[in-house]
Structure formats: structure tokens, C-alpha cells
Structure 1
Amino acid sequence: MGKQMTEMLKGTLEGIVLALLAEQPAYGYEITTRLREHGFTDTAEGTVYALLVRIEQKKLVDVEKVPSEKGPPRKGRQELAEFWTTWDFLRTHIERLNTNTTNTPNEEN
């Protein structure tokens, strides 16, 4: 994975993990496996565990010692909704920039 992809993933991984946890609760290893199934093949388990600690400290997820049918608590769901709103905004504006750039004739120097 290139440096640019790594940097972009750092900025979005929290939202991606919250989205996976909204689907179903999981432990770090299972989250890493699911990330890889979704194409994030270079995501290290250590990265996921560190991220889980951060989102637990922010109280975005409930950590339980026993299996549970609960997903992220309400605060985590709100954070996830904000992530998708932000993602849609960024995607739309980046796509516009890309369209404007690709439709602009190249200038010769």
C-alpha cells in the first residue's frame, strides 16, 4: 500500500471500524479479518487493537468480556453517522475536483 493510501486510511479507519461494529459486535482479530475481507488487506492487528482502545476511551463502543448482541452504543452510532456524513461530503467534493481536473484541457508550458 502506498504512503498516500496509508495516510488516507489513518483518517478513516475509525469510521470504517465503527461501521463494521454496527453490523455486528466483534473482537480485534475478527475486525481485522473483516477489514481484510473488505479489501483492507494491509491493516495490521496492532493498528486495530490500538484503534479499539482509542474508541473505547472515547466511549464510542461498549467493551464486554462476554459475547453480546449489542453493537456500538448510541454515542458510537452518532459518531458513525457523522463519519458517513463527512465521507459523503468529502467524496462529493473530491469527485467534483476530479471531474473538473479531468475535463480541463492540459496546458502546455
Structure 2
Amino acid sequence: MKASAVRGHLDGLLLSVLESGPLHGYAVITAVQERSNGVLELRKGTIYPALNKLERLGLLRSVWEADGERRRRCYELTDAGRRSLAEERSVWREFTAAIGSVLEPAPGPGHAT
């Protein structure tokens, strides 16, 4: 699936995969891919700027961790991030219900199926 398909939903996806605990950037990419059964393939060039933006907004915090001789940045949700995720989920449910009612309308009285 094209990256443009997630436009407008990337923040919610990232917050969601970080809900269960801290992850480094590549693990975030892997978690999104695994949760979507391989449908969503996000690139580093998309993820890292988004993670940095979410951190600037106070929805994430990060710490540098040593991984052998390498260091990697791990991201985790803040309380504000958890509240934002709850709002993202609410908006998503409302959005998908509205789109679903247009794309797959319930048959009304007197309409043949």
C-alpha cells in the first residue's frame, strides 16, 4: 500500500504501536508492518520526521540507549500522547463509520438488495 494511503493517520499509527512500551525507530516500522499483516510498509524517511514531530509536540519522549557499540533512540508515549491516541481512536471510529455508511449503505425500506 502506498505511503499516501496513511497520510493523516500516521500519528495515530505511531502512537498506537508505542502504547505497549518504548521502541526504537526500526522496531516502530516493524510493529506497524506486522500489525497490518504486511500491508503498510513505512519508510525511515517517513517515520523519523514524524517521531521527531510527535516528540516536539510533547506526545512522545525519547532516550538514547546503548545497543552493543551502537546507540539508538527509543521513543515512548507521554500522558499527553495517551490522551491524543484516545482522541485519534475516537476520530477514526467516527470516520470509518461515516465512510462505511456511504460505501456500503444499509438497504432502506422498499429497496431491493
Shorter-chain-normalised TM-score: which range? 0.7 to 0.9
RMSD: 2.4
Looking at structure 1, the residues matched to 47 and 107 of structure 2 have their Cα atoms a distance apart, in angstroms, of 36
TM-score for both structures, normalised by structure 2? 0.76
Looking at structure 2, the residues matched to 95 and 41 of structure 1 have their Cα atoms a distance apart, in angstroms, of 21
Structure 1 residues 40 and 50: CA distance shift in structure 2, 3 A: farther
Shift of 1:41: 4.0
Other-structure match for 1:96: 101
Shift of 1:100: 2.5
Other-structure match for 1:54: 53
Please, which of 68, 80, 99 is the counterpart of residue 85 of structure 2?
A: 80
Identity, % of aligned positions: 25
Which ranges of 4 or more aligned residues in structure 1 deviate by more than 3 Å?
101-105
Structure 2 stretches of 5 or more lacking a match? 67-74
Q: Secondary structure at the match of 1:64?
A: strand
When you count strand as a share of all residues, which structure comes out higher?
A: 2
Shift of 1:60: 0.3
Looking at structure 2, the residues matched to 36 and 7 of structure 1 have their Cα atoms a distance apart, in angstroms, of 15
Looking at structure 2, the residues matched to 51 and 71 of structure 1 have their Cα atoms a distance apart, in angstroms, of 13
Structure 1 stretches of 5 or more lacking a match? none
When you count helix as a share of all residues, which structure comes out higher?
A: 1
